[in-house]
Structure 1
Amino acid sequence: MVFIFFSRYVPRVTDIEERGATGLGSLLAGNRDFRLLWLGNLVSVCGGWFTAVAVFAMLYEHTGAAVAAGASLAMRYLPGILFGTWGGVLADRLDRRTIMLVGDGVLAVLALAFLLADSPGTIWLAYPLTFASAAVGFVFQAARNAWMPSLVRPEESVLYAAAVQVNGLLFQAVGGLAGAAAVTLVGWRWAFVVNAVSFLVSFHFTAKVRRGDRRGDTRPQAARGLRAFREGLRAVRRSRLVSALLLLEAVFCLGLGGSITAMTALAVQVHDLGDGGTGWFYAVQGLAGAVVLLVAAPRLKRLPEERRLVVLGLSCLGEGLFTAALGLPSSALGALAIWGAAACADVVYGPVSMAVLLGHSPNELRGRVVSLWSATATASLGVSAVVSGALLDALGPAALLPVLGACMALPGAAWLVALRAGLLGATRRVRPAAGSR
């Protein structure tokens, strides 16, 4: 459905080029500071996928239970509830560049600390280390998501979000395959070392950037602490569209988190792809998603917001249907193909939703609005990962995947119906509370 929509309603790439619109390559080539942050994020994401494959392999080696992988995913997602939202407050009050530099340094140390968990007696350390790494990562992301968009023009917000997502997808593919190879050939220890080095490289690139909106509301009388958090909540509630987007994200991610847990069981238990089997699924997801996004990004840039909102619903609906299909009997190659198709349906969702959020969030509220959206997603992902991990051990992926697919497809269908009925109201920008700039 996503592809039918693009073929009928979205301008062709050649038309865009004739009109002088820039693509991802032009954005990166012509914007030094954005390119530096993009490169730093790219390297650290690659290392992160090394660690994701290594942690899953380590847990299955020492526990042999799907619920262990689900618990590990929960430790990655749940810190977003506590630290993601407060990271947005910090990003709107402190120097965003400094937050990112400190975050890179702490994450490098935590990556090496995973080496201490590689034994049956110390495997429990993987959970607090995953939690701590995720907590620091969410604060880091809040600062990056508040600072990095200010390095591009407002009309380039879709390209900004697409560029960030593309580097994640490409290096998810490279990191997934390399992580699978590393785990299979030399074990998971080197994956953690590579991840630590990647954070140091990210630190190097970030330290070179000084432009952009490094601070939010700098007024002495600006709200702090809990008042600042409540101010962000009130700002979100004042926009029906942004509130609806957070609700869509919450319900959709109840299925998404479980599908990632189920993918681990498909790779390791059902299709017997070995300790690094999850790397193959990550690689297919990254490659398929990156190709689609590179083609779609300049087209999405030309779309009016009303049509972008249609893309959101189609994306959720498509990924849900493909996820449900993963429960059908298939070969390993067939499962990888369906997983890749789900990635193609999903990949346009991130840039479009981020562009909507940025378009409705002024600089002094940007960190909190985007962080609330991220925290909503991570809370649902964490709950879904834990519950799905327990259900996988009892039911198996064939019975669970159709349910998870429905959790993603139904909110997408409801979103499209609400758009058709005009229930989301007129799109309008989130404004600061009284007394803010």
Structure 2
Amino acid sequence: MTGADGGSPLRQPGFRTLWLAGILDDTVDWMLVTAIPIFIYRMTGSALTTSVAFLIGLAPGILVSPFAGVVADRCDRRLLLLVCTLLQALLVLPLLFVVSRDTLWLLYAVVGARAACAQFVLTSKNSLLPALVGPRHTAAASNLVVLNTNLGRLLGSLLGGVAVAGGLRPVVGGALLGLLLAATLIGRIPRAAPPSAPAEAAGGPVEEEPRRGALAEWREGVAVILGDRRLRVSFLSATLCAVGQGLFVVLFVVFVARTLGGSDAEIGLLRSIQGVGGIAGGAALGVLGSRVHPRPLITWGALSFALLALVLWNGPSVTTAMGVYVGLFAVIGLPGGVYFAGALGMVQQRVPPAYLGRVLGSFYTTFNGAQVLGMAAAGLLGDRLGPVPLLNAQALLYLAAGLATLLVLGVRNVPEEPLPERSAPVLPAPVPPERKELREGRAG
């Protein structure tokens, strides 16, 4: 189901509904990501116990994403998105029974289960998007996803911080309401064609191939990535940036508290203000629509982020005035959002529809795994080296990512041509014995 030839993707009912549902889902995610660590820390007073929630939330992104991609390519992506959104709503209910340290295990179980379910939501949502807007508007739609992600971040962080003051019950109520509204919207999205439906109209009936195993299908998605130079470089740059993001996640609080001398309130302010730049970038990209394409977004996004980060992390040698850092943290969200829009747009434009779920699953697995590496490095080296040298390493990783894409992808603002449907090496399907005998008889 494709959209009209002109205008913003938001004029297309299917994408507009998906976009609104995405705002609700992202808002709930950020509300829980903000509220749950605060709740754990208040209950236990332990930073280690609190950090366990972050690690449990990241693990499914590495383990589940490849399988989520295979399922998204096999199933009706709209139905998968609807079912998983409703399942997420059910999964927040057990938080009502977390009342003491003895029931903290239940909270961790909810965090892990929701994180696993979220991988199916993320993969099905982003692989459904091209079918709703058509190839011409995929870049513009990807750009608008940056806007709703950052709107969700800003709204959810604020709501989570306010709601958790009353315990987990207000948080559960808000999350349940948001997810049920999102599911209602998803149910109104028009049904799209299956991602790998046989093209019978092209020339008579198509013989159905035997179903391959999940591992074999995932390997086919990996083959699509390895067989395309632009996708390989995009994945490499995303890996470098993700390691840097992992360094930032761990060291952000240390930098603000120790280097800037910021209070808890100022830490929260700087954490949420990053969404402002992302919102501005998403809005600008939404206005530009199909006039901007992935290559310049990836390259200039990474290079601009690197330069701003070097200024930010080394700024305390000149001033620690909090107003300066409010401005810097707000601005740095813009190139970060632009970069991610370009990386996601490259995948959505280059990958054939039948492989899109699997490639997106591999993208999220790679990104989350690299982020864990960055977090581990920050944990091992943070106390020994201090936050500033490691945060400068984050900036240099973004710089390396930008230079790699500049050398290989360049900055030409041209749309990406999708790969031919059968460009990836596909593993041979097993031949049934009777067909094998017939083939050998013909050869004889």
Task: Name the TM tier (shorter chain).
Answer: 0.7 to 0.9
1:225 aligns with 2:214: yes
> Quick one: structure 1 residues 420 and 53, their matched pair in 2 at CA, closer, same or farther if it must change by over 3 Å?
closer
Moved more, 163-172 or 73-82: 73-82
1:164 corresponds to which residue? 145
Cα distance in 2 between the residues matched to 1:87 and 1:129: 19
Q: Please, which of 229, 238, 244 is the counterpart of residue 255 of structure 1?
A: 244
Specify every segment of 5 or more residues in structure 1 that has no aligned partner in the other structure, as ranges: 1-19
Cα distance in 2 between the residues matched to 1:430 and 1:67: 49
Opposite residue 38 of structure 1, the aligned amino acid is W
1:42 corresponds to which residue? 23
2:367 corresponds to which residue? 377
Deviation, structure 1 residue 191: 2.1
Q: Could you list the per-position Cα deviations for residues 381-404 of structure 1 after superposition, in whole angstroms to 9, with x for gaps in the alignment?
A: 223234424544555433432222
Opposite residue 281 of structure 2, the aligned amino acid is V
Q: Please, which of 181, 185, 189 is the counterpart of residue 209 of structure 1?
A: 189
Cα distance in 1 between the residues matched to 2:48 and 2:399: 25
Return structure 1 stretches of 4+ with deviation > 6 angstroms. none
> Quick one: structure 1 residues 299 and 232, their matched pair in 2 at CA, closer, same or farther if it must change by over 3 Å?
same
Cα distance in 2 between the residues matched to 1:393 and 1:58: 25
Deviation, structure 1 residue 412: 1.7
Q: Please, which of 236, 245, 254 is the counterpart of residue 225 of structure 2?
A: 236
Q: Could you list the per-position Cα deviations for residues 245-269 of structure 1 after superposition, in whole angstroms to 9, with x for gaps in the alignment?
A: 1111111100012212323445667
- Whether contact under 8 Å (2:143, 2:289) holds in the other structure is no
Cα distance in 2 between the residues matched to 1:351 and 1:388: 26
Cα distance in 1 between the residues matched to 2:210 and 2:387: 54
Deviation, structure 1 residue 325: 3.8
2:431 corresponds to which residue? none
- Whether contact under 8 Å (1:262, 1:392) holds in the other structure is yes
SS of aligned partner of 1:213: coil
1:312 corresponds to which residue? 298
SS of aligned partner of 1:327: helix
Opposite residue 323 of structure 1, the aligned amino acid is A
1:27 aligns with 2:17: no
- Whether contact under 8 Å (2:224, 2:425) holds in the other structure is no
- Whether contact under 8 Å (1:289, 1:343) holds in the other structure is yes
Aligned length in residues: 405
Moved more, 214-223 or 37-46: 214-223
SS of aligned partner of 2:100: coil
Opposite residue 187 of structure 2, the aligned amino acid is A
- Structure 1 segment 33-432 matched on structure 2, within 5 A: 33-64=14-45, 67-68=48-49, 70-117=51-98, 119-183=100-164, 185-217=165-197, 219-266=208-255, 271-274=261-264, 279-299=268-288, 301-303=290-292, 308-328=294-314, 329=316, 330-392=320-382, 395-419=385-409, 429=419, 431-432=421-422
2:433 corresponds to which residue? none
- Whether contact under 8 Å (1:172, 1:283) holds in the other structure is yes
Deviation, structure 1 residue 217: 4.8
Cα distance in 2 between the residues matched to 1:102 and 1:299: 33
Opposite residue 373 of structure 1, the aligned amino acid is F
Using the size of structure 1 for normalisation, the TM-score is 0.82
CA root-mean-square deviation: 3.0
Cα distance in 2 between the residues matched to 1:340 and 1:260: 16
> Quick one: structure 1 residues 222 and 331, their matched pair in 2 at CA, closer, same or farther if it must change by over 3 Å?
farther
Opposite residue 372 of structure 1, the aligned amino acid is S
- Whether contact under 8 Å (2:238, 2:343) holds in the other structure is no
- Whether contact under 8 Å (2:28, 2:175) holds in the other structure is yes
- Whether contact under 8 Å (2:31, 2:157) holds in the other structure is yes
Opposite residue 385 of structure 1, the aligned amino acid is M
Deviation, structure 1 residue 203: 1.2
> Quick one: structure 1 residues 403 and 117, their matched pair in 2 at CA, closer, same or farther if it must change by over 3 Å?
farther
Opposite residue 172 of structure 1, the aligned amino acid is R
Moved more, 96-105 or 247-256: 96-105
Cα distance in 2 between the residues matched to 1:69 and 1:281: 20
Deviation, structure 1 residue 280: 2.5
Q: Could you say which structure has the larger radius of gyration? A: 2
Cα distance in 1 between the residues matched to 2:50 and 2:233: 31
Deviation, structure 1 residue 369: 1.4
- Whether contact under 8 Å (1:172, 1:282) holds in the other structure is no
- Whether contact under 8 Å (2:85, 2:179) holds in the other structure is yes
Deviation, structure 1 residue 300: 6.1
Cα distance in 2 between the residues matched to 1:291 and 1:352: 16
- Whether contact under 8 Å (1:179, 1:279) holds in the other structure is no
Kindly, what percent of the aligned residue pairs are identical?
23
Deviation, structure 1 residue 111: 2.1
Using the size of structure 2 for normalisation, the TM-score is 0.81
Cα distance in 2 between the residues matched to 1:138 and 1:75: 13
Deviation, structure 1 residue 279: 4.5
- Whether contact under 8 Å (1:92, 1:217) holds in the other structure is no
Deviation, structure 1 residue 199: 1.4
- Whether contact under 8 Å (2:34, 2:161) holds in the other structure is yes
Cα distance in 1 between the residues matched to 2:45 and 2:394: 23
Cα distance in 1 between the residues matched to 2:67 and 2:77: 13
Moved more, 125-134 or 66-75: 66-75
Deviation, structure 1 residue 271: 4.8
- Whether contact under 8 Å (1:44, 1:201) holds in the other structure is no
> Quick one: structure 1 residues 393 and 207, their matched pair in 2 at CA, closer, same or farther if it must change by over 3 Å?
farther
